[in-house]
Amino acid sequence: MNKIPSSLVSLTVLLLHVFAMPVFFLGFILIYESRWIMEFLHTGPEMEVFNTLMLTSILIGVIAVSRITMSAVGRNHRISWWQYALWSFGEVFIYSCFAALYMALIYGTYGYFPALAKCMQVSLATLSYPYIIFAILFAYIRPDEDEVAEEDLIRFVDNTGRLKLVIAHDVLLYVEAEENYVSIHYMEGNALKEYSLRQSMRGIEDIMSKHGIIRCQRSFFVNPRHVKVLRRDKEGFIQAELDVDSHRPVPVSPKYYDHLSKML
Q: What is the pLDDT of residue 146?
A: 47
Q: What is the DSSP string of 176-191?
A: EEETTEEEEEEEETTE
Last residue in a domain, options 106, 141, 176: 141
Q: What is the pLDDT of residue 45?
A: 56
Q: What is the pLDDT of residue 60?
A: 94
Q: Are residues 197 and 224 in the same domain?
A: yes
Q: What are phi and psi of 110, to 5 degrees?
A: -95, 130
Per the document, the length of the chain is: 264
Q: What is the pLDDT of residue 96?
A: 93
Q: Are residues 37 and 126 in the same domain?
A: yes
Q: Are residues 234 and 123 in the same domain?
A: no
Q: What is the DSSP string of 212-238?
A: T-EEEETTEEE-GGGEEEEEE-TTS-E
Dump pLDDT digits (tens) for 162-209: 899 988 888 999 999 998 899 999 998 888 899 999 999 999 999 999
Cα 136 off chain centre by:
17
Q: What are phi and psi of 196, to 5 degrees?
A: -95, 125
Dump pLDDT digits (tens) for 6-28: 777 777 788 888 999 999 988 88
Q: What is the pLDDT of residue 141?
A: 58
Q: What is the pLDDT of residue 33?
A: 66
Positive or negative torsion for Cα 56, 62, 66, 71: positive
Q: Are residues 19 and 123 in the same domain?
A: yes
Residue 188 falls inside a structural domain: yes
Q: Are residues 132 and 193 in the same domain?
A: no
Residue 13 falls inside a structural domain: yes
Q: What is the pLDDT of residue 145?
A: 44
> 221 and 215 in contact (C-beta within 8 Å)?
yes
Q: Are residues 18 and 74 in the same domain?
A: yes
Instruction: Give the residue with greater pLDDT, 197 vs 135.
Output: 197
Dump pLDDT digits (tens) for 24-63: 988 887 777 666 676 766 645 566 678 788 889 999 999 9
Q: What is the DSSP string of 124-137?
A: HHHHHHHHHHHHHI
CA distance linking residue 2 with residue 115, whole number of Å: 36
Last residue in a domain, options 141, 171, 206: 141
Residue 146 falls inside a structural domain: no
- Report which of 55, 63, 60 is spatially closest to residue 99, judged by C-alpha positions: 55
Q: Are residues 194 and 110 in the same domain?
A: no
Q: What is the pLDDT of residue 250?
A: 92
Last residue in a domain, options 86, 112, 141: 141
Number of domains in the chain: 2
Instruction: Give the residue with greater pLDDT, 264 vs 194.
Output: 194
Please, is 105 exposed, middle or buried when counting C-beta atoms within 10 Å of its C-beta (0-12, 13-18, 19+)? exposed
Residue 147 falls inside a structural domain: no
Q: Are residues 157 and 53 in the same domain?
A: no
Whether residue 148 is predicted with pLDDT greater than 60 in this model: the reply is no
Mean pLDDT to the nearest integer, 245-253: 85
What SS3 class is residue 42? coil
Q: What is the pLDDT of residue 232?
A: 85
Q: Are residues 197 and 132 in the same domain?
A: no
DSSP 139: I
Q: Are residues 65 and 166 in the same domain?
A: no
Domain that holds residue 258: 152-263
Q: What are phi and psi of 228, to 5 degrees?
A: -85, -45
Instruction: Give the residue with greater pLDDT, 2 vs 73.
Output: 73
Q: Are residues 203 and 114 in the same domain?
A: no
Residue 133 falls inside a structural domain: yes
Residue 1 falls inside a structural domain: no
Residue 161 identity (one-letter amino acid): G
236 CB-near residues (< 8 Å, 6+ apart): none
CATH number at residue 242: 2.40.50.1020
Q: Are residues 13 and 134 in the same domain?
A: yes
